[in-house]
Amino acid sequence: MKAGLFRRGTGLRGGGTGLRTGGTGLRASGTGRRAGLRTGVKYPRTAVAALAGVLVIGAAGCGLTSGSPLVDNVEPGTVGRGEPLKGAKLTVASKEFTEQLVLGAIMGIAFKAAGADVLDRTGIQGSIGAREAVRSGTADAMYEYTGTGWITYLGHTKPIVDPHEQWVAVRDADRRNGITWGTPGPLNNTYALALNRKNEKKYRTKTLSDVAALSKKNPGAVTLCVEGEFAAREDGLNGLKRAYGMNIPNSRITKMAGGIVYTQTAKGACVFGEVFTTDGRIKALHLAVMKDDKHFFPNYNVAPVFHTKALEEHPQMERVLAPITKKLTNAVARELNAKVDVDGEDPHDVARDWLEEEGFVKKGGG
């Protein structure tokens, strides 16, 4: 068992500094995204449960389940008034990539402002480990993605086009697992194609249908940079080309590591690049994202998930988070992720600053 399974940071808050590459240039860990989400591997439900059990047992054996107490000096703003969670002892989890670290900190700080004592277990490696922490009750809550729940955890191969209907389906199906899904937000961390501003003006593409039309009208104009995994997946490049009728021969497609896709697209080495819609590098590198006007890509809307028994004991958790989750958009996520991945800021500090700027919490007195 690796000692780095859970992010430790400073020992008091979970920190987040242990994952950063130094704050110069682009943060390497930002390319990880939803680890384990898009691997294409199908896990039978019994296998997922068995693997999760091994993770929990192994983590306990390494003494890594304790987490770190969250000590932020914050008070209620527009959320947490009256300290509805006063006396509650809550454990917050997240996965290990940038966006999840920020979301986990947002959740923990909000609970803290609402009066709870919060244990920070953000930074759990991989989707299944974080999921199992909430399912087993070793963590009380985390932010998750509806597409992850539907495809990765529940084993479905076909996504549901309507975002609300997919959330309802995940919510209803996951009840038997002791997990309750809260109301989702507009943040949708899914696949997209993007290009730099110069090429956007040159080719005047705004949607994926525009890209398809360009590939037929002027095939030589379309070059594409993608990760190898995206190129092989049916919910990636292959399905995308069929859904939109794109005419892009393999000779015009270059496979490379995810982080390089962003920089090559920004340079114009390829006209279009595969991106994730909430990645901070979209903002930092001034990329334009093409609208998925046929709704081909699965929805990965963010929503809080709770260990059901914990939520029954502290139903105020969901009410505290509801206005915050509603405020989480792709634009907000890109900005917050960029502060970590590009500017080198600490995920926890980024989360707290945003909560204070939005008025959700206030700095504590004294």
Of residues 2 and 152, which shows the higher confidence score?
Answer: 152
Distance, CA of 143 to CA of 99 (rounded, Å): 10
The answer, yes or no, to whether residue 3 has pLDDT greater than 50, is no
Nearest residue to 341 via CA among 147, 97, 163: 97
- Give domain limits for the chain: 17-188+300-363, 191-289
**CA torsion, ordered 322, 190, 258, 195, to nearest 10 deg:** -110
Of residues 24 and 239, which shows the higher confidence score?
Answer: 239
- As separate numbers, helices (DSSP H) first and strands (DSSP E) second, the chain gives 15, 13
Model confidence at 229, in pLDDT bands (50, 70, 90)?
Answer: confident
- Pair 78, 359: CB distance under 8 Å: yes
- Pair 121, 133: CB distance under 8 Å: yes
> What's the CATH class of domain 191-289?
alpha beta
Topology given in CATH for the domain delimited by 17-188+300-363: D-Maltodextrin-Binding Protein; domain 2 (3.40.190)
Amino acid at 169: A
Common-topology check for domains 17-188+300-363 and 191-289: yes
Amino acid at 92: V
Distance, CA of 349 to CA of 340 (rounded, Å): 9
Helix, strand, coil distribution of the chain in percent, nearest 5: 45, 15, 40
Residue 353 burial (C-beta neighbours within 10 Å; 0-12, 13-18, 19+): middle
Model confidence at 66, in pLDDT bands (50, 70, 90)?
Answer: low
Nearest residue to 119 via CA among 308, 344, 310, 360: 310
- For residue 152 the two structure tokens come to 């990765």
Model confidence at 366, in pLDDT bands (50, 70, 90)?
Answer: low
Span of 17-21, 175-179, 193-197, 322-326 with lowest mean pLDDT = 17-21
Nearest residue to 235 via CA among 293, 277, 295: 295
Tens of pLDDT, residue by residue over 128-141, are 999 999 999 999 99
Distance, CA of 15 to CA of 8 (rounded, Å): 7
